[in-house]
């Protein structure tokens, strides 16, 4: 199976940030490590979830990234460079496969309308009913990785 590059993983880590303890993300999800919403046992993260080590967080990240990678491989029907794969996997990791599946972003990629794709990333900047500066930065970074691929 195709895997995200180390640069792609670094992109996710940069925007997720590491937290050994559970915290509420801006969209209102309990999160731990680098953006995991499920603990090592597969249970939803809650305020009572025990802290994780960086090694455990890496395990969680790789588990969740693998789900996003499979989602991209299932939904995108055209060949992708590593950068494009990384950008789309970061998107799917952050927003879930359903967001990618129902998005115009996916349709533009599959039609190879690559010039239109950066603008589609920038439509996904809302969390908890408001525009989030962190999501704006993340979507711009993903769009840049996609374009530079």
Span 16-55, pLDDT tens digits: 999 999 999 988 899 999 999 999 999 999 999 999 999 9
Q: Looking at the predicted structure, is the pLDDT value of residue 102 above 80?
A: yes
DSSP string, 17-63: --EEEEEE-TTS-EEEETTBSB-TTSPBP-TTPPP--HHHHHHHHHH
**Among the CATH numbers 3.30.1950.10, 3.40.190.10, 1.10.530.40, 3.90.79.10, which is that of 6-148?**
1.10.530.40
For residues 70 and 11, the answer to whether their CB atoms sit within 8 Å is no
pTM: 0.95
29-39 pLDDT, tens digit per residue, is 999 999 999 99
- Quote the distance between the C-alpha of residue 63 and its chain's center: 12
The domain ranges of the chain are 6-148
Q: Looking at the predicted structure, is the pLDDT value of residue 65 above 80?
A: yes
Catalytic residue from among 25, 69, 120, 142: 25
Distance (Å, rounded) from C-alpha 133 to C-alpha 25?
13
In the residue annotation, 148 being an active-site residue is answered as: no
In the residue annotation, 25 being an active-site residue is answered as: yes
pLDDT at 27: 82
Rounded to 5°, the CA angle 118-122-128 comes to: 155
Which among 70, 59, 69, 4 has a CA at the least distance from the CA of 32?
Answer: 59
pLDDT at 128: 81
Distance (Å, rounded) from C-alpha 92 to C-alpha 81?
16
Confidence at 61, pLDDT banded by 50, 70, 90: very high
Burial of 38: CB neighbours in 10 Å, binned 0-12, 13-18, 19+: middle
Catalytic residue from among 16, 69, 120, 142: 16
pLDDT at 99: 97
What is the percentage of the chain residues whose pLDDT exceeds 90? 93
pLDDT at 28: 87
Q: Looking at the predicted structure, is the pLDDT value of residue 149 above 80?
A: no
Give the chain's mean pLDDT: 96
Sign of CA dihedral 20, 23, 25, 26: negative
Distance (Å, rounded) from C-alpha 100 to C-alpha 88?
8
């Amino acid at each position: 199976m195709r895997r995200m590059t180390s640069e792609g993983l670094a992109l996710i880590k940069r925007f997720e940030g590491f937290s050994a303890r559970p915290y509420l993300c801006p969209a209102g999800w309990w999160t731990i490590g680098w953006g995991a919403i499920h603990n090592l046992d597969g249970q939803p993260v809650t305020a009572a979830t025990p802290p994780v080590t960086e090694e455990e967080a890496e395990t969680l990240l790789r588990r969740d990234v693998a789900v996003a990678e499979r989602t991209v491989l299932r939904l995108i029907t055209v060949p992708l460079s590593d950068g494009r794969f990384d950008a789309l996997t970061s998107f799917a990791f952050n927003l879930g496969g359903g967001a990618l599946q129902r998005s115009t972003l996916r349709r533009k990629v599959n039609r190879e309308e690559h010039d239109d794709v950066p603008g589609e990333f920038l439509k996904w900047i809302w969390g908890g009913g408001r525009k989030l500066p962190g999501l704006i930065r993340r979507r711009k970074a993903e769009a840049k990785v996609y374009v530079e691929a």
